[in-house]
Structure 1
Amino acid sequence: MSTRTTRRAIGFALLSAVLYALYPPLAKLLVVSAAPAILSALLYFGTGLGMTALLPLIHRTKGHQQETSLGRHDLPALIVMIIANVLAGVLMNMGIQLTSAGNISLLGNFEIVATTLLAQTLFHERVSHRLSWAIVIVTAASLLLSFNDFNQFSLSWGSILALLATVCWGFENNLTRVLSNKDPLQVVIVKGWGVGIGSLLVALTLGEKWPPFWTVVDLLLLGFFAFGISIYFYILAQRYLGAAKTSAYYAVSPFVAVLISILFLRESITIPFIVALLLMIIGSVLITQDSLKQPE
């Protein structure tokens, strides 16, 4: 692979990370007007709608390059992907409703821990010494963010829900790896429409109300950029860099989201949050070093 291609792939991974970083702080603003399941449905409908609209343009610019289309044998992986994302999206938005966007952003790092532990359990993948330390550090930081009051052992249910969401995404990451070689545009479109419909069914079951018109527009746009375009670039980066290295570059996303939350939402910074932030940085550095050392 040429240096130019490598740089372009790194650019894709970093752009993917920055676009996804818009999700926690902006969802924190919008969850006031949209209930969690409806919010998730509209985000993913924005993904499906936007990427479907871009389908002719992207195919035209690819020229002769042929992508491997999804087939009938991919159906089990697609079903797992949709169910896991419906659960994760609703849980994460419920978490965003109950705690700060900064907390939610940092807890996103636990997805790497969940993915790694599940990979070790389900597929007997080897975990390096460095990655083991990273798992311990990120887990400690996540536990720190999961308490409102240590003196009274008062749990932050928003943080707990966010952690459960990352476990769902970790499960999905392991069981849908077979889709990384498929047409990324098809995967994103199926994911958008599938999770959108699934989340809408959950919203109807819970009796959630439809939000105001401009909230709908905002959520569709946020979903298109933070989920649709972001996932598309992530899959492209993964194709050229491999899963481990792409994850390493993508690790900047939670910290960009924290910065946005502090600067634009004016969220308060507590001592436990600062300690958790430092631990997350150390854990992310260890994970990044481990990922960049892995052969692809």
Structure 2
Amino acid sequence: MTSSTKKGTQLAIGYALISALLYAFYPPLAKLLIHSVPVAILSSLLYLGTGLGTTLIYPVVHHASHTSNGLKRTDIPALVAVIGFNIVASILMNLALKLSDAGTVSLLGNFEIVATSVLALLFFHEHISRGLGLGIAVITIASLLLSSTGVTHFSLSIGAILAIVATACWGLENNLTRVLSDRDPLQVVIVKGMGVGIGSLIVSLFLRESWPAVGTIIAALVLGFFAYGISIVFYILSQRYIGAAKTSAYYAVSPFLAVILSFFLLGERPTALFGVALVLMIVGTVLVTKE
């Protein structure tokens, strides 16, 4: 490996980790905002921040990412489906944050791996290797533990269940995004951001949600811009140098970074059950990313 290649690889790893860190701020900061922002409006602001922000930086990042295959009219059905599932998933995830600890919801984000893989097996007949299957099983067990409110008296946490349903929606969306995989990812982010933002706004009107103060609105837009928009930009730049698989492996640290941030920013304290689930999530994530 030449020095320039090594430098490029190290830079790409840095991009992936920055992407993971930026997204890790979403659960704890959204948990703070959810006390003053209704769930659908929060979803709308986060995604509008993504769409509007990415539009502003598109000329620079588009040039850097060397992508020229733009969206086409034939992509509209796939985009509509992706936007629809994202509206449902984002609203449910915000509601889960309102009802549960940010650390728990962060770890349950790993269930998206399970949902994506199982749906790919069912609908696209993708092969699941022994290592991947074991990782999926371990993550599923950890998710069940996180969904429980206790050991001696087993009952389900509504917030945790909503988070799992949200990640299942994202898993389905990941499989639908296959048909858009060769398109300009920044254009996909912009269209998805604006579509989910406007769609969630329509939902908020039906729910008759009340708008928060201007300062809170700006805070939510900025969070969406960085945690979703800029995070995706760094993810794309990382893929350019080290590919999708390795970028995903480094990005897999995001839920665990979110847990740490939740402890520091929100003062959340883990239970013994959470500790067991955390260890299992780490083992399961390592097994999956190795595959």
The gaps in structure 2 that reach 5 residues or longer are none
> TM-score, normalised on structure 2?
0.93
Q: Which amino acid aligns with 2:40?
A: A
How far residue 106 of structure 1 moved from its aligned partner, in angstroms, is 0.4
> TM-score, normalised on structure 1?
0.92
Q: Which amino acid aligns with 1:186?
A: Q
1:37 aligned to 2:37? no
Count of aligned residue pairs for this structure pair: 288
The answer as to whether partners of 1:184 and 1:236 remain within 8 angstroms in 2 is: no
Partner SS for 1:67: coil
User: Take 1:120 and 1:231, find their aligned partners in 2: how far apart are those partners?
Assistant: 26
Deviations 1:15-61 (A, max 9, x none): 211111010000000000001111000000111111112234445x5
Q: Which amino acid aligns with 1:41?
A: S
Question: Which residue number in structure 1 is paired with residue 256 of structure 2?
Answer: 255
How far residue 233 of structure 1 moved from its aligned partner, in angstroms, is 2.5
Structure 1 residues 222 and 193, CA gap change in structure 2 (3 angstroms): same
Partner SS for 1:82: helix
User: Take 1:255 and 1:28, find their aligned partners in 2: how far apart are those partners?
Assistant: 16
User: Take 1:125 and 1:243, find their aligned partners in 2: how far apart are those partners?
Assistant: 17
Question: Which residue number in structure 2 is paired with residue 19 of structure 1?
Answer: 22
Q: Which moved more, 1:72-81 or 1:264-273?
A: 72-81
Question: Which residue number in structure 1 is paired with residue 289 of structure 2?
Answer: 288
1:109 aligned to 2:110? yes
Question: Which residue number in structure 2 is paired with residue 267 of structure 1?
Answer: 268
How far residue 124 of structure 1 moved from its aligned partner, in angstroms, is 0.8
Q: Which amino acid aligns with 2:202?
A: L
Question: Which residue number in structure 1 is paired with residue 148 of structure 2?
Answer: 147
How far residue 3 of structure 1 moved from its aligned partner, in angstroms, is 4.2
Question: Which residue number in structure 1 is paired with residue 162 of structure 2?
Answer: 161
User: Take 2:11 and 2:85, find their aligned partners in 1: how far apart are those partners?
Assistant: 30
Partner SS for 2:149: strand
Percent of paired sites with the same residue: 59
The answer as to whether partners of 2:61 and 2:233 remain within 8 angstroms in 1 is: no
Q: Which moved more, 1:233-242 or 1:83-92?
A: 233-242
User: Take 1:241 and 1:84, find their aligned partners in 2: how far apart are those partners?
Assistant: 29
User: Take 1:232 and 1:238, find their aligned partners in 2: how far apart are those partners?
Assistant: 10
Question: Which residue number in structure 2 is paired with residue 235 of structure 1?
Answer: 236
The gaps in structure 1 that reach 5 residues or longer are 291-296
User: Take 2:126 and 2:193, find their aligned partners in 1: how far apart are those partners?
Assistant: 30
How far residue 273 of structure 1 moved from its aligned partner, in angstroms, is 0.4
The answer as to whether partners of 1:6 and 1:241 remain within 8 angstroms in 2 is: yes
Tell me how large the CA RMSD over aligned residues is. 1.8
How far residue 206 of structure 1 moved from its aligned partner, in angstroms, is 1.1
Deviations 1:207-257 (A, max 9, x none): 111111111011000000001111233234345544433321111000000
How far residue 10 of structure 1 moved from its aligned partner, in angstroms, is 2.8
Q: Which amino acid aligns with 2:42?
A: L
Q: Which moved more, 1:157-166 or 1:180-189?
A: 180-189
Q: Which amino acid aligns with 1:277?
A: L
The answer as to whether partners of 1:80 and 1:176 remain within 8 angstroms in 2 is: no
How far residue 160 of structure 1 moved from its aligned partner, in angstroms, is 0.3
Q: Which amino acid aligns with 1:38?
A: I
Question: Which residue number in structure 1 is paired with residue 55 of structure 2?
Answer: 52
User: Take 1:77 and 1:249, find their aligned partners in 2: how far apart are those partners?
Assistant: 28
Deviations 1:152-208 (A, max 9, x none): 322110000000010011001111023232222211111110000011111111111
Partner SS for 1:176: helix
Q: Which amino acid aligns with 1:229?
A: I
1:10 aligned to 2:13? yes
Partner SS for 2:204: helix
